[in-house]
Amino acid sequence: MTSNPISGLIPRGSLGLKLLLVCALVLAMGIPLMTVGALMEGREQRARQVTAEIGAQAGGQQVIGGPMLVVPYRRTIEVTTTEGQVSTSIERGRYIVFAQNGTADSQLAVSQRRLGIYRADSFDATTNFHAEFDPAAALEGLDPSYTFDWAQAQLVMFVGDSRTIRDAAELRFANGDTATLEPTSDFDFGQAAIAAGQWDYSASPPAQAFRSLQAFAAPAPLGDAPEPFVVDTRIVLGGAQRFAVAAFAQDTAVTIAGDATATRAQGYFQTNQGVELTGEGFNAQWRVPFVARNMPKAANLTSFNLGDIANHDMAVSFVAADDIYQGVRRAIEYGIMFIGIVFLATLVFEAVSGKKAHAAQYILVGLAQCVFYLLLLSITEIIGFTQAFTIAAAATVLLLSYYAGASFRSAAVGFKALLGLSGLYGAMYVLMTLEDFALLAGSVVAFAVIAATMIATRRIDWYGRAAPAGSTTE
């Protein structure tokens, strides 16, 4: 009977051959992991769509701009032709004048709206505006050919979606007079900051556009001369997912506070000290001086895009429904590594104990770990990542520990597996919660596992069977 030449190189029962088989099985486990990953992507896309629908019903993502002064003008332009003839034309248009100083103080009452298993944060926002105007100072140095009709000046504000305004907005002036803001379609805001229901949370400054910004106007308290004046107003409106205040004044100070804790600061401008979280909610503050605003004190609306005002915003957003998938995604990305760690630990146990595990047992253990990620995904959608990880990890650790004890017919082996797997899944959770340092932590874990394996198997004869207990190799 002829002998197989390969058997002479790698004897039957060789731990080296078993190691190659285990490596192949680890790679094979990537197939069910990719299936779970594809399923997660589909669920995440569905969550985004449903979250956008919920948010749209609540008023969508809101941006609000405080009082701005718009003044009609008339200008006589003389043009000299090549033949030396002089012709005149009348140009009519509007100038926008920004308040010298402006403040906005917003209080948000945040709640959750649900549709099936999906949810989105909605809010009712009460914003108090204060604006101090000095039109003459803002227009100082302007070409004297401009003639302004101050009696027809208007104060203008805008919001992202007016459907959820709770009460009539009224302007209050220092002399006690009031004026009610009324809807107007006289202003073109061009491309504004964000798309209703489709905000890209990774973009800063905003990169997408509202379907429209809705403007409101009221007569300004000016006669024939541009005297300084002060105006206050309050607007109450609803929305969802994101609330922003535009830098409506030359020097703008904004405070946004609310009763939610899962909040992040966004927008074109950075906060002074980040979002301050308290036991009652959050508080975020901004101050944008004139030099940082990167806009003029006044501008001709013929060439100035009003949408740029909305683009220069200060905002808070609430944790989007699809954010719950971030932890699951990171867990799946490191799935092969953790499955490999369990397989490698089992192989080392075989080598040092003399007991054997069949390839089918490795496959079952690997599939159980893949099902862990499926459990994690499905439970996370219901109760959140932390609780879902605890439940899915506990079930998987108990199952694998029982299987290890039963397979090797040893309660001690099962108990050791319980301790080892508990530590492994605990390390996995820590790794999943680290955002900036996840790669570093994963690399350290992988190095530590490889180092421990090399030390534990340094006396193993990989060409044959494990060294007998008590034997040494010099």
SS3 sequence, 47-97? Answer: HHHHHHHHHHHCCCCEEEEEEEEEEEEEEEEEEECCCCCEEEEEEEEEEEE
Query: How many alpha carbons fall within 13 Å on the CB side of residue 269?
Result: 30
Spans of the chain, pLDDT less than 70: 1-15, 81-82, 84, 188-211, 319-323, 352-354, 435, 462-474
Residue closest to 319 by CA, chosen among 267, 274, 266: 266
Q: Give the separation between CA 445 and CA 455, rounded to whole angstroms.
A: 15
Other CB atoms within 10 A of residue 441 CB: 16
User: What is the token pair recorded at 167?
Assistant: 């009460």
Q: Cα–Cα distance between 358 and 350 in angstroms, integer?
A: 11
The strand pair at 242-246 and 62-80 is best described as parallel
Chain-centroid distance, C-alpha 131: 32
Cite the beta strand spans of 241-329 per DSSP E. 242-246, 249-258, 263-267, 276-278, 281-288, 298-300, 313-318
The continuous run of DSSP H or E covering 118 comes out as strand 118-133
- Locate 312 and state its tokens: 């220069």
Tokens of 203: 């973009």
Quickly list H helices, 101-202: 135-138
Residue 141 sits at φ, ψ, to 5 deg, of 90, 0
> What pLDDT score was predicted for residue 197?
35
Quick one: which of 97, 109, 67, 104 has its CA closest to 280? 109
Rounded-to-integer distance, Cα 342 and Cα 400, Å: 10
Residue 323 has a pLDDT of 65
pTM listed for this prediction: 0.68
pLDDT at 252: 95
Task: For residue 342, give every residue at least 6 positions away whose Cβ sits within 8 Å of its Cβ, in sequence order, or none.
Answer: 365, 366, 369, 400, 421, 424
pLDDT at 156: 92
Encoded amino acid at 158, one letter: F
The pLDDT, as a whole number, for residue 112 is 77
Closest by Cα among 213, 124, 217 to 160: 213
- The length of the chain, given as a count of residues: 474
- Residue 464 pLDDT: 63
Q: What is the rounded distance in angstroms from the CA atom of residue 468 to the CA atom of residue 90?
A: 104
Q: What's 320's DSSP letter?
A: -
- Cβ 206 vs Cβ 313: under 8 Å: yes
Looking at residue 6, what is its pLDDT?
A: 43
Please give the angle made by the CA atoms of 232, 236 and 241, to the nearest 5 degrees: 125
Tell me how far apart the alpha carbons of residues 215 and 34 are, in angstroms, rounded to a whole number: 49
Q: Residue 435: its pLDDT value, please?
A: 66
Tokens of 268: 């074109």
Q: Which residues contact 59 (CB under 8 A, 6 or more apart)?
A: 122, 161, 163, 164, 237, 238, 239, 240
**Residue 389 DSSP symbol:** H
Question: Which pLDDT does position 302 carry in this prediction?
Answer: 86
